[in-house]
Structure 1
């Protein structure tokens, strides 16, 4: 059974002095984050957990659809990485509000 979760949040950049290349994410929190956590819990009970507690998803932002994983963060919710090709295709920059559909 495929579950679809919709969420809108800002695109933000993560970087450190030791790793100057930037990674961009949308945080999936609130009701959408709770739905992801519930699905992840059910999947962990069914089979071996994935690395870092990640969960494979298909994400759609605008006209771009891509396979990726979301990663849990104890402080933020779930983190959805947004690749440069998707940001470029959709004209997205840091701070932009992003509407995303996740298929689990």
Structure 2
């Protein structure tokens, strides 16, 4: 299953220098509906692509109920020239189906 969306990059206020992009509500709902084995923290394994950068990671349930968040590695932010507040177009491929 694949998703493509655009959302702003934001910094987690509880931990400086940790950045995320929120998966929109509709896509988050679609991810939640897919049956899978329970995992730590409700994480779902994904392959993320932003620009020319692709990496394997997980999306996690965010503070907003029902919305997943994608951690954005510093190496990706630097390589793609992304700063806090910038719109980020993300292609997600679920790896757990």
Superposition TM-score, scaled by structure 2 size: 0.88
Q: Which of these two proteins has the greater Rg computed from alpha carbons? A: 1
Q: Which sections of structure 1, spanning at least 5 residues, go unmatched?
A: none
Query: Per the alignment, do residues 93 and 74 of structure 1 end up closer, same or farther by CA in structure 2, a change over 3 Å counting?
Result: closer
Instruction: Give the Å deviation of 1:28.
Output: 0.4
Count of aligned pairs: 93
In structure 2, the partner of 1:15 is 13
Q: Deviations over 1:3-46 (max 9, x none)?
A: 11111100000133xx4x4200000022211111112xx11xxx
Give the structure with the larger strand fraction. Answer: 1
Greater than 4 Å deviation, 4+ residue runs: none
Q: Which sections of structure 2, spanning at least 5 residues, go unmatched?
A: none
Superposition TM-score, scaled by structure 1 size: 0.83
Q: How do 1:80-95 residues align onto structure 2 when only pairs under 5 Å count?
A: 80-95=70-85
CA RMSD of aligned residues (A): 1.4
Give the structure with the larger helix fraction. Answer: 1
Q: How do 1:1-104 residues align onto structure 2 when only pairs under 5 Å count?
A: 3-16=1-14, 19=15, 21-39=16-34, 42-43=35-36, 47=37, 49-73=38-62, 75=64, 77-104=67-94
